[in-house]
Structures are given as C-alpha cells and as structure tokens.
C-alpha cells in the first residue's frame, strides 16, 4: 500500500513526491522521496515476525532508486538490504555497518558480508553532515533509540523540506536533548521551515503507558544487583542502552559482565563509538546530547568459565573465570534459547535470577509476535524478573516533536498501528488539521 503526495509545482520541472509504504503497521518501513532529478528510499525493512502479510515485492527496475538511506540497524528498517540491486549505493551510520557486519559474520551470511564490505557501495553518514543526491540535500541527525546509531533524515528538495524521524525516543541515556536538537539544528531557531513531517507512532497503540526511563531502570537495576549478585540477562545484543544500564548497575556493585563472543563484539562497537563522541569537538551537534558516559564497557568478558585467569607473578594463585564469577557475582548476557540452559544450570546452586529485558509481547500467546521458544525457556528458568523499557517515543514526546517541528504542510504518522490516535494528542490546533493518513 502506498500513498503519494505531491509538492506544489513552482516551476514546471520541480515537483517533490513522497511515497509511504506500510505506514499503518510497525515493520516493513519503506519511504520513497523523489524530486525531478533524484529518487531516494529511506529504509527497506522487513515485516515483523508473525506479520500476516509477506514482504511485498518492490519493483526496482520501474522505480529506479538512486540511493537507499538507512535510519538504523533494526530489521524492520534494514532487513531487506540484500534485495537492493548492486548498482544502488546504500547510506548508513558507522555503527550500523559494524553491527550488521558482526551479525553477518556470526550467521555466516556471505552475501550480506560481501555487500557490507564493499566500500564503493556502502556510504558512511555522519550526524549533522549534509550530502547530496543530485538535487536533494540530505542531513542525518543522531537520535536516541534502542539502536545505537539511529538517525532522523532531513531532505531538502528544490521545493520541499521533509523530515523523516525514523525510530526515536526521549527517555534513553541520550534522549534529553532531542527537542533542543530539533530547535537548534533542524529548525535553526525557527528560521528553517519543515514542510512535511513523517513521524513514527509505535506508542500510539499504547497511549496510557507510563515512561520508564533508562535512568529509572538503572536505579532499579542497582537495587537488583544489591540483592542478587548472580544475574542472567536476556536482552537484545544490539540494544546498547539496555546493555549499558545493566552493565553500569552491575559495576556499581563491583560485578563484571560476561557474554558470548558475538555479544562482546557488538559491545566493542558501542564502546568504540562512544569513545569517539567523547573526543568529538562538537559533540552536542553530532550526538544530540553527546552523552557517552554509560558505554565504557570496560569490564565485559567473553563467557568462558573454565578459562584460567593468570595471577601475574604467582601461578599458584591462578583462578578460573568461574571462580571469579562465584566470588564476585556476575551479569551474564544470554538468549532465551536452549544452548544457554547449560549456562544457567552450571550456576544453579547459587540460585541465580534471570532478567527478561525485552518486549513482553513476545511472551503473550495472544500476540501475533508470540515466541513459543522464549516462553518455554523462561518457564524453565526458575526466578525470573521482568525489567524493560521501550525504544520508542511516548505519545507525549510525539506531540512535543510535532509542535517543535511545526510542519507547514502535512504530518504523516508512520510505523504505527494506531495512526488516528495522533489527533487526540496535545498538539497545536493549527497542526491538527495537517495530519494526513496513508
Ligand atoms: Zn528501531
Ligand atoms: Zn522500527
């Protein structure tokens, strides 16, 4: 399903066109924006697991896309990248490329690896640094999300300025500067007019949900580690913020983090990027807040309980990783999957706690994304705690962003199952009339 809106024709040859695909669902995110000279796609995502419809075919030949811009590395935005014809360049953040490469490496996906390692095809984007595809000027802005480097894109065609938010939120470690970033860099204190806003509305289906911020979660996790020194953590290996929250909470209690080498490699990407932000001269501009603190990840080790850790100078004092874990406590990152049961069993005598820090929808048999494996795994775990925060903007923040962007022409909710709820938000009256639907 697609909707086409057309810009005002100022000159015969200038006309901006926007096509939104799958805007009325979460998943399969695709937007195509064209001027008279260029056509760019923002995201080429897969439908979420359990979706009724298969991913619809995209007619690359007829559409002749000049470039694909990815907002971030979640599958509902980047999942179909291998289908993109080899002649089309793809733009993504540095960490997005690294995270995708690590996934491809560990899943032995040689096709994906080949694309990701192709420097002529994969183009790097940098926050607040504009580039052009023909007559479309594009500026990415880094935002807070449950993916480490997620971007909004501002596209300026000869007759329209369009902001595509991608996925974002305000309650993560880097979220508090979002509105300031919009006012200063996107709106330039009111001097730049945005005509069209495409805004994600995941949380429009969960209007009453209260914000549980990463900061609140950190406080709760510090308490958790005080009470329980042996914690298995089930969370996404690419959710840098949740990993950072648990890592920081563990560290405050003198506890180290352990994980599969794959997870350690992902964590290395986050640590390295955050260190780069620290050195950046203009970090507010580049990072929508420049908050690098939680991602130091210094005490994260590949899980190898039998490994001998040498006590330098005195071999008699050598210890195994397991001895350290048992003495100091641990936060071991796992997946809700069969092979990890052995990891838990090894420490069963310590009465460990398993923390599930992912979306609860996966555990709900009523939900289409229900995951039987996760449910069965958790049922076998014993003591389970549920601690999770959403990667998406609350309804309140969605309204604040709309008011700050103040689109001159139209507002399109995307990435939502409840677009109509946008009308009930606390947005300025003159903006309410600009809401359009797919
Ligand atoms: Zn996302
Ligand atoms: Zn998404």
CATH of the domain at 120: 3.60.15.10
Domain shared by 180 and 257, yes or no: no
| Residue 251 shares a structural domain with residue 105 | no
- Asked if 299 and 255 sit in the same domain, the reply is yes
Number of neighbouring beta carbons within 10 Å of residue 220 = 13
Instruction: Work out the average pLDDT over 141-161.
Output: 95
Nearest ligand for residue 390 CA: 1
What is the spatial order of strands in the sheet that 2-6 belongs to? 2-6, 17-21, 30-34, 39-44, 67-69, 90-92, 122-124
Assigned domain for 185 exists:
yes
Give domain status of residue 126, yes or no.
yes
3-state DSSP call for residue 152? Answer: strand
Average pLDDT over residues 379-408: 95
Among candidate residues 75, 50, 76, the one with its CA nearest the CA of residue 367: 50
Does 140 fall in a domain?
A: yes
Q: How confident is the model over 164-206, as pLDDT tens digits?
A: 999 999 999 888 889 999 999 999 999 999 999 999 998 888 7
- Assess whether pLDDT exceeds 50 at residue 269: yes
Q: Give 92 Cα–ligand 1 centroid separation in angstroms.
A: 14
pLDDT of residue 315: 80
Q: Give the count of domains, the chain.
A: 2
Residues 230 and 366 in one domain: yes
Distance 304 CA to ligand 1 centre (A): 31
Residue 424, domain member (yes or no): yes
Give yes or no: residues 316 and 428 share one domain: no
Q: How far apart are CA 137 and CA 105, in angstroms?
A: 34
**Ligand 2 midpoint to CA 78 (Å):** 9
| Ligand nearest, relative to CA of residue 145 | 1
What's the pLDDT band for 408 if we cut at 50, 70, 90?
A: very high
Ligand nearest to the CA of 202: 2
Structural domain contains residue 15: yes
| The pLDDT of residue 13 | 56
Residue 7's pLDDT band (cuts 50, 70, 90): low
Residues 6+ apart with CB under 8 A from 332: 231, 232, 233, 257, 258, 259, 303, 325, 343
Task: Check residue 149 and report its DSSP letter.
Answer: S
- pLDDT one-digit tens code per residue, 17-73: 999 998 888 888 999 999 999 999 999 999 987 777 778 889 999 999 999 999 999
Whether 438 is in a domain gets the answer no
State the distance from the centre of ligand 1 to the C-alpha of 44, rounded, in angstroms.
13
Give the domain extent around 109: 2-207+392-432
In terms of domains, do 18 and 99 share one?
A: yes
**275 shares a domain with 178:** no
pLDDT band of residue 2 (cuts 50, 70, 90) is low
Q: What is the mean pLDDT of residues 75-84?
A: 96
Q: Which ligand is nearest to the CA of 45?
A: 2
Confidence at residue 288, expressed as pLDDT on a 0 to 100 scale:
52
pLDDT for residue 48: 82
Q: How confident is the model at residue 289 (pLDDT cuts 50, 70, 90)?
A: very low
CA–centroid distance, 169 to ligand 1, in Å, is 10
Assigned token pair, 35: 């001027």
Cα(396) to centroid of ligand 2, in Å?
18
For residue 414, which ligand has an atom nearest its CA?
2
Strands 230-234 and 353-356: parallel
Q: Assess contact for 142 and 290: CB atoms under 8 A.
A: no
Q: What pLDDT band is residue 274 in, cutting at 50, 70 and 90?
A: confident
Is the same domain home to 401 and 346?
Answer: no
- At residue 4, the pLDDT reads 61
Mean confidence (pLDDT) of the chain:
91
Expressed in angstroms and rounded, the spacing between residue 349 Cα and the centre of ligand 2 is 40
pLDDT digits (tens, 9 = 90+) for 313-362: 788 889 999 999 999 999 999 999 999 999 999 999 999 999 999 998 89
Judged by its nearest atom, the ligand closest to the C-alpha of residue 168 is 1
Ligand nearest to the CA of 74: 1
**Global pTM value:** 0.93
What is the Å distance from ligand 1's center to 37 Cα? 30
Is the domain of 24 the same as that of 163? yes
Distance of CA 284 from the midpoint of ligand 2 (Å) = 25
331/396 same-domain check: no
For residue range 359-373, list pLDDT tens digits in order: 988 999 998 889 999
Same domain, 266 and 323: yes
For the beta carbon of residue 386, count every other beta carbon within 10 angstroms: 13
Residue 200 CA, ligand 1 centroid: distance in Å: 10
Residue 233, domain CATH:
3.40.50
Do 75 and 12 fall within a single domain? yes
Distance 347 CA to ligand 2 centre (A): 36
**Is 370 contained in some domain?**
yes
Point out the ligand nearest to the CA of residue 203.
Answer: 2
**Which ligand sits nearest to residue 169's alpha carbon?**
1
At residue 205, the pLDDT reads: 84
Q: Token pair 């015969």 is at which residue? A: 12
| Ligand 1 center to 391 CA (angstroms) | 7
Higher-scoring residue by pLDDT: 110, 13: 110
Residue 419 has pLDDT above 60, yes or no: yes
* Residue 437 lies inside a defined structural domain of this protein: no
């Amino acid at each position: 399903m697609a909707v086409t809106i057309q810009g005002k024709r100022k000159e015969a040859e200038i006309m901006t066109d926007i096509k939104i695909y799958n805007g009325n669902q979460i998943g399969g995110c695709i937007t195509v924006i064209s001027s008279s000279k260029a056509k760019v796609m923002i995201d080429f995502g897969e439908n979420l697991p359990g979706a009724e419809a298969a991913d619809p075919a995209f007619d690359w030949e007829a559409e002749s896309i000049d470039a694909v811009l990815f907002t971030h590395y979640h599958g509902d935005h980047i999942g179909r990248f291998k289908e993109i014809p080899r002649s089309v360049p793809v733009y993504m953040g540095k960490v997005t490329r690294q995270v995708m490469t690590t996934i491809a490496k560990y899943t032995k996906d040689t096709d994906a690896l080949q694309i990701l390692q192709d420097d002529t095809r994969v183009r790097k984007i940098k926050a607040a640094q504009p580039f052009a595809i023909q007559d479309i000027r594009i500026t990415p802005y880094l935002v807070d999300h449950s993916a480490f480097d997620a971007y909004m894109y501002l596209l300026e065609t000869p007759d329209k300025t369009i902001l595509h938010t991608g996925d974002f939120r305000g309650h993560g470690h880097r979220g508090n500067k979002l509105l300031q970033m919009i006012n200063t860099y996107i709106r330039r204190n009111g001097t730049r007019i945005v005509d069209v806003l495409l805004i994600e509305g995941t949380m429009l289906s969960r209007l009453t949900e209260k914000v549980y911020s990463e900061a609140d979660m950190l406080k709760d996790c510090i308490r958790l580690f005080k009470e329980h020194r042996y914690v298995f953590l089930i969370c996404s290996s690419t959710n840098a913020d949740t990993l950072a929250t648990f890592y920081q909470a563990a560290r405050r209690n003198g506890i180290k983090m352990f994980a599969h080498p794959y997870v350690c490699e992902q964590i290395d990407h986050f640590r390295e990027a955050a260190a780069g932000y620290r050195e950046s001269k203009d970090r507010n501009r580049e990072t929508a807040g420049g908050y690098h603190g939680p991602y130091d990840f210094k005490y994260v080790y590949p899980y190898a309980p039998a490994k001998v850790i040498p006590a330098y100078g005195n071999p008699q004092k050598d210890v195994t990783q397991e001895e350290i874990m048992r003495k100091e406590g641990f936060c071991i990152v796992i997946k809700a999957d069969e092979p990890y049961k052995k990891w838990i069993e090894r420490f069963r005598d310590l009465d460990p706690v398993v923390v599930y820090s992912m979306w609860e929808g996966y555990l709900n048999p009523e939900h289409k994304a229900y995951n039987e494996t996760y449910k069965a795994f958790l049922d076998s775990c014993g003591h389970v705690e549920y601690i999770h925060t959403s990667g998406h903007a609350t309804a309140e923040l969605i309204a604040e962003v709309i008011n700050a962007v103040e689109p001159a022409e139209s507002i399109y909710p995307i990435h939502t199952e409840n677009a109509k709820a946008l009308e009930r938000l606390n947005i300025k009256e003159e903006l309410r009339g600009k809401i359009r639907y797919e």
